[in-house]
Structure 1
Amino acid sequence: MSMIGLVDCNSFYVSCERVFQPRLNGQAVGVLSNNDGCLIARSNEIKALGIEMGTPAFDIQHLVGQGRIRLLSSNYELYGDMSQRVQAVLGEFSSGVEPYSIDEMFVRFDGFEPGQLLEHARQLHHKVRQYTGIPVCVGVAPTRTLAKLANRAAKKIPAYGGVCVLRAESAETRALLKRLELGKLWGVGRRLAERLAVLGFRTGWDLAQADPKRIRRQFSVTVERTVLELRGISCIEMNDFHEPRQRIMTSRSFGKLTENVDEIREAIRQHGQRGAEKLRSQGSLARAVLVFLKTNPFRDDLPQYSPSLAVELSRPTDDSREILDAAGNALQRIYRRGYRYQKGGVMLLDLIDCHRQQLSLLDTSQSDADRQRSQKLMATMDELNKRMGRGTITLGTPSPGAAWHLRCDNLTQRYSTRWEELPAARAR
């Protein structure tokens, strides 16, 4: 029988930091968003203090000063690499790994007997921690929706020891579904839960007993699939959640206000390159590039100006050079002196499938050769940046200390991707 597992890394960002800084174990640790804005990850110890996700950093600085908590800047290069390492371990224990997010992966288990599968899942649970240092919870079931339920049980109920294997029609599964509020079921958001509650559906078990056809008529095929999944009928694939985006935006607030056009140009160049990488990763081409700038609307003492401009590309492309050229032209046209800018960004518009583009009748064999060279160059850049760390190969060198750089006052080392930041052992 085919079974599906969901492996969820516990307090992932904090766990990554603790792998290389064991002194953080047992401490109340939080990881902050871009520009050290608010909490996006919490250790169990910081949760116990009643500090909520999304709490602004300035609201809890007094706890930092008292030594009660430790706040770290987000280190996405480290987290991304550790995620890849967890996936590599999972690949040795399953017939396929499907990343769902940076800290969650679905894994396939085929041909296991019930007793064998539980032992195998426990071994996987142990080996991930042993090989990567990252603690995980493992939930296994016949469908992805039930695997989510099993994973939740593995995390919330200590008796499972971090591993839960469910069968579709078992008393154990029924008991868990009866205790599960609809709003906490995978794929059921708050608004949908409210609509279902009007019809008397309040728990996962209630929805599992619904007539799938009736649910489809009253809601959608997506909710119908959820009903079937709760009954053990697998009908949700990962492709259902990873449709190519219709537009790609890359933007961040600057570390501090700036009116320096060279620094802003560097920021736009970095955003454009990152957007182009995302474009290539989903197999799309862009027909237009939009660039925008924003001043701080809360600074009444400063003049306000928030322009944007879309530039049509000469042909659909995923070439970073062409995208950056268009973005640079747009920036030149919208930038004005005398304003202190807080944010800038690049949006790639009117995306099409790279395999379905319609070529112009005026294209020549030379332009076809140019396209092939472009594809090889971009593929080489992406591969090097994937293997050696983002930013290894870039178009243009950013100036150190520029205003547009993110504020990362508590950034740890990128221990696993930068030679110059490898952990150092010191003799006592």
Structure 2
Amino acid sequence: MSSIFALLDCNNFYVSCERLFNPRLEGRPVVVLSNNDGCIIARSNEAKALGIKMGEPFFKCCGLIAAHQVQVFSSNYPLYGDLSQRVMDVLCQLEPEVEVYSIDEAFVRIPQAKEEALLENGRHLRATVKKQVGIPVSIGFGSTKTLAKIANRIAKKRPEHGGVFALPDQGLDALLATIDVGDVWGIGPRQSQKLFACGIRTALDLKNGNDTWLRKHLTVTGLRTAMELRGISCLPLEDIPPPRKSITSSRSFGQPVTDLAWLREALSSYIAIAAEKLRAEEMKTRCVQVYLTTNRFREGDPQYANSKTVTLPIHTSSTLELIHYGAEALRQLFRPGYAYQKVGVVFMDLVSASHAQGHLFYAPPKGQESLMRAVDKINRRWGRDTLHSAAAGFLRPWKHKQGRKSPSYTTSWNELPVVSAPSIVKTTGRAA
């Protein structure tokens, strides 16, 4: 039986998460900032209408934000991640074939059906997610992933479709002629400029492009995109994500750091985050890269950036072991006299935990795997860092700025939403 793809996309996801626990934000312009409250990474439709651009530095928009009383929030990734998981859980309960593509997007493969049946299914999915999680979503249907992306864009941008749209069999070319080639999934800004210069300006132009020319100038990836626009599916549903090749964890500091001890605390914290991801995906690493850099945008300050890669005796996912090797690499990288802006870690040479090879002359400390399982279980139950290595510190003065962060309503016991209900007095018509 032939199948069709649907793309579910959460509308202005970070903003929708903020609005879920603060209904007074509905209809008001809202933006969410990146780490250290630096740039705008999410905007409500009202904020977009004011001309606030994605990725624009916050300080450049302060006047516009103040003039229009735009509500501003620091990024709250624990909240966003938890709500994303809830959306995906609902979707997986409703559909058997789901590929979680990103924090706010998922592809679904369903049997081919008539347009009205697809729209009815989409409306049901949309209403169920809204009822059970509270996040508004848009859903687009197409015979390929690329066409489903286009359908989703139409569902989101054109209110008359009510958040659900299925690409029609008849008149598809006329619709593709209205889509800018730069808005096609997989076509980046540089490729878009190249295509424009060659007269390929719309999705329809790309669909009808010459295969030899497309392969030469856009590689096989661009050719696949054109074929997807023709209704030939080249991108299968990946219900099992491919294994990662690396895991990175880093943050910019809230203030410049000059002290090695503070750098070690920050690095230990980031290693713990990356190691938790390793264990969650049942993987181990044998190669740890630590990097350190100053702020290249601070004119007049001395600049320094360097990295060091360490090969471990065996593959491991133990936070304690990884912190040990990371701290030694940092010690060798550190140079006094610099104001550092960022430290980070990259785990490479990843293998499945079940296939990690031992070492004839080296045995890891006993009990570490059991300890890590216990730590992960407690932190999942009570929140990140309920248990953590002392090397990651406690006061953490280096931590990135989050001056406008909303509470972690769903992931911290101390920040659960509080509901106040007025007392109800029953009147009987008689004096008490």
Moved more, 76-85 or 95-104: 95-104
CA shift in 2, pair 1:101/1:389, >3 Å: farther
Instruction: State the shift of 1:165 in Å.
Output: 1.4
The residue identity in structure 2 corresponding to 1:201 is I
Change in 2 beyond 3 A, CA 1:66/1:228: closer
Contact 2:99-2:240 within 8 A present in 1 as well: no
Could you say if the C-alpha distance between residues 111 and 45 of structure 1 is closer, same or farther in structure 2, counting changes exceeding 3 Å?
Answer: closer
- Which residue is equivalent to 1:405? 399
Residue type of the alignment partner of 1:97: V
- Hey, what's the Cα distance between the residues in 1 that align with 2:340 and 2:213? 53
- Classify the secondary structure of the residue corresponding to 1:171: coil
Q: Distance in 2 between matches of 1:239 and 1:199?
A: 34
Q: CA deviation at 1:49?
A: 1.2
Tell me, yes or no, if the aligned pair for 1:9 and 1:134 is still in contact at 8 Å. Answer: yes
User: Number of paired residues?
Assistant: 421
Are the structure 2 counterparts of residues 227 and 374 from structure 1 closer, same or farther at C-alpha, using a change threshold of 3 Å? farther
Please tell me the residue identity of whatever aligns with 2:19: R
Letter of the structure 2 residue corresponding to residue 163 of structure 1: V
Aligned positions of 1:333-348 closer than 5 A: 333-348=332-347
> RMSD across aligned C-alpha pairs, in angstroms?
3.0
Query: Within 2, Cα distance between the matches of 1:10 and 1:265?
Result: 39
Q: CA deviation at 1:161?
A: 1.3
Aligned match of 2:295: 296
Deviations 1:109-154 (A, max 9, x none): 2364543222111111122122222111110122111110110111
Distance in 2 separating the partners of 1:123 and 1:206: 34
Q: Residue type matched to 2:271 in 1? A: G
Q: How many Å apart are 1:397 and its aligned residue?
A: 6.9
2:111 corresponds to 1:110: yes
- 3-state SS in 1 of match to 2:101: strand
**SS of the residue 1:179 aligns to:** coil
TM alignment of 1:5-404, pairs within 5 A: 5-66=6-67, 68-110=69-111, 112-167=113-168, 170-197=169-196, 200-210=199-209, 212=211, 215-216=214-215, 219-239=218-238, 243-281=242-280, 284-299=283-298, 302-352=301-351, 354=353, 357-360=356-359, 362=360, 367=363, 374-379=368-373, 381-382=375-376, 384-386=378-380, 388-396=382-390, 398-404=392-398
Distance 1:277 1:72 in 2: 27
What residue ranges of structure 1 are gaps of 5+ in the alignment? Answer: none
Task: Using the TM superposition, give the Cα deviation of residue 50 of structure 1 relative to its aligned residue in structure 2, in angstroms.
Answer: 1.1
**Structure 2 unaligned residues grouped into runs of 5+:** 423-432
Amino acid at match of 2:25: L
* Deviation at residue 11 of structure 1 after TM alignment: 0.9
The offset of 1:7, in angstroms, is 0.8
Question: Using a 3 Å threshold, how does the CA distance of structure 1 residues 97 and 385 change in structure 2: closer, same or farther?
Answer: farther
**Within 1, Cα distance between the matches of 2:375 and 2:171?**
50
- The percent of aligned pairs where both chains have the same amino acid is 43
Deviation string, structure 1 residues 342-379 (Cα, Å, up to 9, x no partner) = 2212222444555655554x268xx4995xx5555545
Q: 1:236 to 1:255 in 2, by over 3 A?
A: same
What letter corresponds to residue 416 of structure 2 in structure 1? L
Q: How has the CA–CA distance of structure 1 residues 182 and 240 changed in structure 2, closer, same or farther, with 3 Å as cutoff?
A: farther
Distance 1:292 1:215 in 2: 38
Q: Distance in 1 between matches of 2:374 and 2:183?
A: 43
Query: 8 Å contact 2:4–2:110 — kept in the other structure?
Result: yes
288-297 or 158-167, larger mean C-alpha shift: 288-297
The TM-score normalised by the length of structure 2 is 0.87
Q: Distance in 2 between matches of 1:28 and 1:357?
A: 50
Shift of 1:90: 1.4
The aligned counterpart of 2:430 is none
Change (3 A) 1:67 1:176: closer
Classify 1:171/1:387 alpha carbon distance in 2 versus 1 (closer, same or farther; 3 Å): farther
Secondary structure, counterpart of 1:92 in structure 2: helix
Q: 1:333 to 1:369 in 2, by over 3 A?
A: closer
For residues 307 and 213 of structure 1, what CA distance do their matches in structure 2 show? Answer: 43
Distance 1:106 1:389 in 2: 29
